[in-house]
Structure 1
Amino acid sequence: MEVALAVWVTIAIILVTCAWKVMVVVWLRPWRLERILRQQGIPGTPYQLGIRDWGETSGIKERLRHRCHTSSTEFSHDIVPSILPFLQRSVQKYGKCFYTWMGPTPVVNVMDGQLLKEIYSRVYDFGKPHPGGGMELLALGLLSSEGEKWSKHRKILNPAFRLERLKPVLAASTASCMEMMSKWEMLLSQEVSCEVDVLPYIDNLTGDILSRAAFGSCYEEGGLDPARGLETIPAGTVMYRKTYRATRLDPYYLPSDVIIFVPVLLVHHDQQIWGEDAQVFNPKRFSEGVSKASTGQSRLPYLPFSAGPRVCIGQNFALIEAKAVLAKILPRFSMELSPSYPHAPSNLVTIRPQFGAPLILQKL
């Protein structure tokens, strides 16, 4: 009898302990963090169990994509509603600094240039969120490593991405681009112009350049997947950081276990930073350099490769690749958007056209 009673008492203690831990994670801790944020005047959505804040995003995006696919005549430079619809509505409602929820974890949205400068420069105060869900078992390298491990790996890899060491990328880009253009010329051999979906060609091109630069052979010879290329380490539409200890982000105090969300796409489309034509593709805005492209802000709001000590290590590689390819294509071909192109940008790690990129090519 006494043994059975002891067993039941032990089971009860275990159940109560587990229930208390669950209560702390799903209710008490989120309530405490929300109170700290609200006391500082940061607005946001009230905490509720689940992931309600982000649950409606997929439905909104699907409706927008269907509308774009069924009406190819619609074309808008305002792609934010189709890529980050929930965030756009939240910015309109709360302003540029607010919090939402990712499960029981508060997510603070930051778009101010000075705050972004602090976040990206203080890499030991604002670290990368741990992947979780078993992803920590994968060798993600610089992408998710922190502290001394990241610093050591970065120092080892930095020399390989210096400009003087990337000269083979120029030759690889030229060779791969010439092969791609020869295929286009075959399509144009009997026609003045033709419609070509250039997206698979560009996918193959990036994979081929990476293969030539790294291994000295094209992807077809090496049997590599042509659709990967630099897509494995892109500059995305959003970036995350996390506080693993309480810290100040003037004028705010952020407790530990808060995710900081940087909506890069919204920052790059902010009219207060870039002017009224922020949504329009206008390369001339950078004619005097990035620092003078924005209106009264520092250069930090331009974040195609992140910023600070953790700036993308492949930045020089990507820029050399892009410049070399454009320098070869533009003198030999003219191109314009095909009437059959449905404007439906999709966020698949990077922003890509969901239904391809058909262009009308003409040889010069």
Structure 2
Amino acid sequence: HNVIWSGISSRTSYPAVPDERHGTALSCTILNLLLLGPVWSFVRGTTAVLIDRTDPVGLAEAIRTDGVSRITLVPTLVHDLVEHPDVHREDLSGLTHMIIGAAHTPPELRQRWYDKFGTWPLVGYGLTEAPSGMVRDRAGHRANSTAAGFPLDPVEVLVVDRNGVDLPDGEVGEVCFRARSGGRWAGVWTPMLGYWNRPEATREALRGGLLHTGDLGHLDADGQLVVRGRQNQLILRGGANVYPAEVERVLLTHPDVAESAVIGLPDERLGERVVAVVVPVAGCSPDPADLSAHCAVDLARYKVPEKFLVVDELPRNAMGKVVPRDLLPLFGG
């Protein structure tokens, strides 16, 4: 039932429209894309369109010629469509819903999509252990552009401290999920059975009757989940927490920066130092001193990267997520 509940739930939260055609643009060997693509469409009774192009011009052409009306994309593909000069608003005029998932989506990227294509993109959050989407934005709800959305029907989201104690709204802790305790969806959802041949990791992830995600976040006053980043990617600089996503968001407001990634470099004195890798906007050459000054306007001094590298592209995995460990060699690590 975990394979089909997200599609069933969507029937009420996002009712299908006549002739709906849902596009999937990445490999269906990735579990979440299979569930949120063809299986999702099957359960909704709509048409699934499998797209074999991920270059921006080819993807836009496929969306147009195949009549795709809604699609789920990773931030990388969204960025490419927004930035490519040969992709125009009319190319995606038939696209009424676009959902971004699989990685952190900066509010600036959502705004740039809206400015170019005229539709407000929705965002979501999920993980393979779930094994699907768990949180989704609501159409027309823009109160908090940094949030990933509200928990879907079968689940409840909690934020807990290191001892597993629930934290109040606004306080950052580990994001966890459990089955909804009341209503028609009570007890329907179950997490994964476990990691293959990794009993200790399984016990850690499922301790206390919760699915522990390993992600840091908090709930806002409306009950939306705001994800701050991975626990193992949190930078501890001189005893102070630095959330990479916060620094990346500020960097993306610089007019010369198209993409950014922030990591911590080991340091004998401070534990870690904050550094950043940026991809420039086409035709631009970001100046490190200018980037530092830009960050200092909105960030505490200890959060401002001490070093900036400009690269042509960021290393990513099959889901389009940046792989932080692959950035370390760029700094000699």
Into which bin does the TM-score normalised by the smaller protein fall? under 0.3
Task: Tell which structure's C-alpha radius of gyration is larger.
Answer: 1
TM-score, normalised to structure 2, is 0.26
Q: Work out which structure has the larger RCO, using CA pairs closer than 8 Å and 6 or more positions apart in sequence.
A: 1
- The structure in which a higher percent of residues are helix is 1
